Amino acid sequence: MAELAATGGVDELPSLIGPGCVNVQASTGAAYLANDGGYTAAYIADPGSASSYTDPATQQQATSVAAGQCSAPAQGRRIGAFVGNDAYKNGQTLNGAGSDASAMALSEMNQRGSEGQIHYDQNSAGIMSAFSAVVGQMKPGFQGVLYFAGHGIEEGLVGVDAEEDATGHITDVVPYSAVAALGAGAVAGGYYLEIVVDACHSGTLVAATQEGLEASLAKRDDLSPAAQEVLELARLVQSIESYLGTPLSPSSALEYHAALIALADSFEGQTQDSSLMALPGDAAEFQSGTPSYRVDIASEMRSGMLEWAQAHASDPVASASPNDP
């Protein structure tokens, strides 16, 4: 077991349909300061249930999406890069991102036999260099884990040299689309890549991965009829999700809640899979919830539909019974 060492918008993503797997886990829209390391601790305690973590300060739920052949993760060599950014030079410093990266790395080493490096206080180039170094070592059957704790904005992961330019644009940012592209490479390359992000707006990374998966499915000319139907349901959920991020009147919130229930019911009718039926939750809770809470529900529904469509993309068309007319 190697010792862990410490160091000081794409228009179209590559195909996400292949023999490998990318599993993206994100603390979603909760600010890191409000989260206070709770999501990372929840992930370390139980990676399988981390997506159900709810931030106590914001009531926002973590989210996840997987693409590729993830039913049986690879069992080969596992290599990680663990980035924790605290010392932001031109913005609010953090106090726990570095220790979270250390805790994550030690957990990986002790529980999963990982090897790799902890990287503290990196700019955007350093973040991508650390992540790319792991990806560059991947071979079919290998496992990789990319972890980031620190500030995030809607565009991506924030490096420690970030500042606001004259136009109001934040510099020194790793676009979420670039991180999602690393995941697409894992799927195509036949290895397993886990991406864990504990940062504000990290749910955008899940959305970028969803978009890549949806685009990959839509391009296939051999997509099964069932997968096509579920892909269309996912698009309908996305259209609703675009409205849920804004303040809604009580009556509008209830209408969207009913629409999500109807889509979950349609999904069950198409697939005989009832796993999404409980996601819209209680109508009153949905009505009183924050915009981010509602978006998280829709995003989780969409992820479930896309993952089902991916898993059943090549299902054969059911043959007619001899007794059918």
Using alpha carbons, select from 286, 308, 148 the residue that is nearest to residue 228. 308
| Rounded percentage of the chain residues whose pLDDT exceeds 70 | 87
Residue 29: pLDDT over 80 = no
Residue-wise DSSP of 210-231:
HHHHHHHHHH-SS--HHHHHHH
Close Cβ partners of 150 (under 8 Å, ≥ 6 residues apart): 32, 83, 84, 85, 86, 88, 94, 97, 157, 158, 199
Rounded Cα distance between 22 and 19, Å, is 10
Residue 15: pLDDT over 60 = no
Q: Is 0.75 topped by the overall pTM?
A: yes
Q: CB–CB of 267/231 below 8 Å?
A: no
Average pLDDT on 217-228 reads: 85
Residue 2: pLDDT over 50 = no
Q: What single letter denotes the amino acid at residue 75?
A: Q
Q: pLDDT-derived band of residue 246, with 50, 70 and 90 as boundaries?
A: confident
| Rounded percentage of the chain residues whose pLDDT exceeds 90 | 46
CB neighbours of residue 133 within 10 Å: 14
